[in-house]
Structure 1
Amino acid sequence: MKHYEYISPCHFGMEALLKREITDLGYEITKVEDGKVSYTGPVDACARANMFLRTTERVLLKVGSFTAETFDELFENTKKIPWEEYIPKEGKFWVAKANSVNSKLFSPSDIQSIMKKAIVERLKLKYKLEWFQESEDSYPIRVTILKDEVTVSIDTSGESLHRRGYRKLTSKAPITETLAAALIMLTPWNKDRILVDPFCGSGTIPIEAAMIGAKIAPGIKRTFLAQNWVNIFPGSIWEKAREEALDIQLSNVEMNIQGYDLDGEIIKAARQNARLAQVDHLIHFQQKPVSELSSNKRYGFIITNPPYGERLEEQNAMPELYREIGKVFSSLDTWSYYIITAFEDAQKYLGRKADKNRKIYNGMMKTYYYQYMGPKPPKR
């Protein structure tokens, strides 16, 4: 069976987690870099990676790599790639995104334009055509240039994989589904332990936790761009990936997952999102301030994304809010707490130094994932 190389980008700081996910799917890692992991696998790896990877933003099919310090070199090396193996006569193709870091070629628009011309020239020769209608399936091309090393790929996912298909309504500062899943997977939480998000917003962390606990594949409710690329990927691989996802799903699982927020309207949105994800029966949502959070359960988990004070008018309220969160900590002394925030003084007002502190980039925003480990429950 033919093997391809794939590239999956992720949030900076989450590479080891994504590497583990890919390895668990059975694929060989070829490279781990800042914000992305490369791996090899057969044709069905494209479908399975799109269906099952929780922490990547997309699955890219690598088609070539080379060194280029001039636009002539970029043109000639792009033209050498066997584009006819990937793009059919009627395919729509364009360089959708170009990134350049520490390279002599640094203008994204010029890189995109020159590469498009090179691909057209290659396909003119191969298809004996002077004009391409580009009227059928889309093949968006992505290029990254790092220290003059060019990597060229085609995006198989289409819409970013954080768009699971369930989140129709969001709060003011939503956390992406991929990041929410990663935050949960960085903890020892499992479906048998209580989990609470006291700042749940539109419900992303509780919903992702319920999906992880019930083994619901993140891509089960959506489609992917490469499903139409029958010239590369047979339609059967997508059907098999969906069948595999349905086979491993747990239908009669029970979990204790709770989501709270001050905003009653956003709680309604969270319930609606949970219904669309088909996990509403596994989550209890309620309008409640963090100051009223209490539980008689022991050894629970809090995983949450509280306000950071990113707006100037909110910054003065942050010390009191984080003091309040610290009080909840002290009242639930056997629990574990995991808080992602960009508020620099969080530990000071929480009243306790984190056991672990992980730096994560949420988009371009530097955030900290403060991890407070509670005691392990006694063995049954």
Structure 2
Amino acid sequence: MEKYQLYATMGAGFESVVAKELQSLGYDTRTENGRVFFKGSQRDIVKTNLWLRTADRVKILLKEFKAMDFETLYNNVYEIDWAELLPVDAKFPVQGRSVRSKLHSEPGIQSIVKKAIVNKMSDQYHRRGFLPESGNVYPLDVHLYKDTARISLDTSGESLFKRGYRIEHGGAPLKENFAAGLLKLTPYDGSHPLIDPMTGSGTLAIEAALIGKNIAPGSWRQFAFDNFDWFDPTLHKNALIEAKAQIKPLQQPIWASDIDQSILEIAKLNANNAGVLQDIYFKQIAIKDFTTEMTNGIIITNPPYGKRLKDKQSAEALFTQMGEALLKYDSFSQYYLVGDPDFEKFFGKSATKKRKLFNGNLRVDFYQYWSNRNDFK
């Protein structure tokens, strides 16, 4: 099968996590900011879209070249064999981005790329400069960085965080791939108990169950490649059958609690849609009243902060309650995603390690407190 130059995109700070995921799926990788490159066939395009938990999209790199002016950009795009990729009625939206490049007008870049493709396809299909664009979508993008242009075809369509199990959103839910990324920054693999004591709409607990049960995160959705006319439709069907056969029982319990019963009902609906409702113990309980008999596991949560708790004082009071309720469980490794730089002061302990991340546009820290056991960090 033909091999493509592929790359996965991801949120800032998750490059190494996605690279590890790709390596564990059997690929050699090369990493740069926001992208991890690998090679693969149509089968690999299906596999990575289906299985990558922490990436945003999987794209085919069609061409890379230096472009300091619009003529060079136009000529290089025109040279691509577009009729091989796009049927005559293809709908092909072009997204453009430019960073630190001479060609800096993004609308201008998009329009030149679009014009070059239309003219080439008109020549190839013997049409006079008119293409109906009434068929399936082939999402294209052009990215310029320091005058190097990359033209890519997006095989995912909607971002991979849109798993398809989450129908209702709680107050400020974590994106699914962001939640999976946080879990991948812990030692969690399903072989230890996991607790989320402020679960909100349940995303962390559900993503943990998917990891623990080895359920492919893309199991519920379609991808852009499903509508490419040159793509083998049997590959996706077969990959889903194979993925189903690899699901295993959860080894250790997952506990998810919250003070708000109405948001827990949403979390249960989401868990049910993801097929993991039976694997998660949901309970309504305030953090100050939290207790557990479990040991040697992971506590991970995204406590309300920023817009979710407008009042800074109530956030700080909550962090103090968290410290009083949770720090005594020192056989657990503990992980907290918080947007308040004073978190440690109110929680009552300095983190073993801190990692700077961006949840959307919000700068946050991932505070890591390792357990008193050397084997679990």
1:135 is displaced (CA, Å) by: 1.6
Secondary structure of the structure 1 residue equivalent to 2:368: strand
Q: 1:311 to 1:194 in 2, by over 3 A?
A: closer
* Residue correspondence of structure 1 range 134-213 to structure 2 within 5 A: 134-213=133-212
Q: TM-score, normalised by structure 1?
A: 0.95
Secondary structure of the structure 2 residue equivalent to 1:334: coil
Q: What is the one-letter code of the residue matched to 1:26?
A: G
CA distance in 2, matches of 1:310, 1:22: 34
Q: 1:239 to 1:313 in 2, by over 3 A?
A: closer
Q: 1:202 to 1:312 in 2, by over 3 A?
A: closer
Instruction: Between 266-275 and 323-332, report the one with greater CA deviation.
Output: 323-332
User: What is the aligned partner in structure 2 of residue 238 from structure 1?
Assistant: 236
Structure 2 unaligned spans of 5+: none
Q: What is the one-letter code of the residue matched to 1:237?
A: L
Percent identity over the alignment? Answer: 37
User: What is the aligned partner in structure 2 of residue 12 from structure 1?
Assistant: 12
Secondary structure of the structure 2 residue equivalent to 1:45: helix
Q: 1:263 to 1:240 in 2, by over 3 A?
A: same
**How many pairs are equivalent?**
375
CA distance in 2, matches of 1:362, 1:38: 24
Q: What is the one-letter code of the residue matched to 1:283?
A: I
Q: 2:361 aligns with which of 350, 361, 364?
A: 364
Secondary structure of the structure 1 residue equivalent to 2:310: helix
Aligned partners of 1:5 and 1:40 also within 8 Å: yes
Instruction: Between 70-79 and 308-317, report the one with greater CA deviation.
Output: 308-317
1:335 is displaced (CA, Å) by: 1.5
Question: Which whole-Å deviations, capped at 9, do the CAs of 1:127-168 have from their partners, x for residues lacking one?
Answer: 111121122111111121111111111111111111111101
* Residue correspondence of structure 1 range 279-290 to structure 2 within 5 A: 279-290=276-287
User: What is the aligned partner in structure 2 of residue 112 from structure 1?
Assistant: 110
User: What is the aligned partner in structure 2 of residue 91 from structure 1?
Assistant: 90
Question: Which whole-Å deviations, capped at 9, do the CAs of 1:157-195 have from their partners, x for residues lacking one?
Answer: 111111111101111111010011111111112323111
Aligned partners of 2:209 and 2:250 also within 8 Å: no
User: What is the aligned partner in structure 2 of residue 338 from structure 1?
Assistant: 335
Does 2:269 correspond to 1:272?
A: yes
Q: What is the one-letter code of the residue matched to 1:376?
A: R
Question: Which whole-Å deviations, capped at 9, do the CAs of 1:322-375 have from their partners, x for residues lacking one?
Answer: 111111233212221101111111111111111111111222222111110002
User: What is the aligned partner in structure 1 of residue 60 from structure 2?
Assistant: 61
Aligned partners of 2:87 and 2:229 also within 8 Å: no
Aligned partners of 1:254 and 1:282 also within 8 Å: no
Question: Which whole-Å deviations, capped at 9, do the CAs of 1:231-273 have from their partners, x for residues lacking one?
Answer: 1x211211221122112111x4343111111211100000010
* Residue correspondence of structure 1 range 211-222 to structure 2 within 5 A: 211-222=210-221
Secondary structure of the structure 2 residue equivalent to 1:64: strand
Instruction: Between 267-276 and 326-335, report the one with greater CA deviation.
Output: 326-335
Q: 1:312 to 1:291 in 2, by over 3 A?
A: closer
Q: 1:296 aligns with which of 288, 293, 298?
A: 293
Secondary structure of the structure 1 residue equivalent to 2:311: helix
User: What is the aligned partner in structure 1 of residue 344 from structure 2?
Assistant: 347
1:316 is displaced (CA, Å) by: 2.3
CA distance in 2, matches of 1:298, 1:246: 31
Does 2:21 correspond to 1:24?
A: no
Secondary structure of the structure 2 residue equivalent to 1:173: coil
Secondary structure of the structure 1 residue equivalent to 2:195: strand
1:377 is displaced (CA, Å) by: 8.1
Q: What is the one-letter code of the residue matched to 1:103?
A: S
CA distance in 1, matches of 2:151, 2:122: 20
Aligned partners of 2:299 and 2:334 also within 8 Å: yes
CA distance in 1, matches of 2:183, 2:362: 20
CA distance in 2, matches of 1:86, 1:318: 52
CA distance in 1, matches of 2:12, 2:339: 15
Structure 1 unaligned spans of 5+: none
Secondary structure of the structure 1 residue equivalent to 2:341: coil
Secondary structure of the structure 2 residue equivalent to 1:17: helix
Aligned partners of 1:92 and 1:134 also within 8 Å: yes
Question: Which whole-Å deviations, capped at 9, do the CAs of 1:14-36 have from their partners, x for residues lacking one?
Answer: 1111011111222222x311122
Instruction: Between 215-224 and 314-323, report the one with greater CA deviation.
Output: 314-323
1:311 is displaced (CA, Å) by: 6.1
Aligned partners of 1:69 and 1:148 also within 8 Å: yes
Q: What is the one-letter code of the residue matched to 2:106?
A: P
Q: What is the one-letter code of the residue matched to 1:245?
A: A
1:378 is displaced (CA, Å) by: 8.2
Does 2:369 correspond to 1:375?
A: no
Secondary structure of the structure 2 residue equivalent to 1:54: coil
Instruction: Between 222-231 and 200-209, report the one with greater CA deviation.
Output: 222-231
Question: Which whole-Å deviations, capped at 9, do the CAs of 1:263-299 have from their partners, x for residues lacking one?
Answer: 1110000001000001000001122111111112221
Secondary structure of the structure 2 residue equivalent to 1:92: coil
Aligned partners of 1:91 and 1:138 also within 8 Å: yes
Secondary structure of the structure 1 residue equivalent to 2:164: coil
Query: Superposition RMSD on alpha carbons, in Å?
Result: 1.6
CA distance in 2, matches of 1:179, 1:295: 27
Q: 1:311 to 1:303 in 2, by over 3 A?
A: closer
Q: 1:255 aligns with which of 247, 252, 259?
A: 252
User: What is the aligned partner in structure 2 of residue 80 from structure 1?
Assistant: 79
Secondary structure of the structure 2 residue equivalent to 1:8: strand
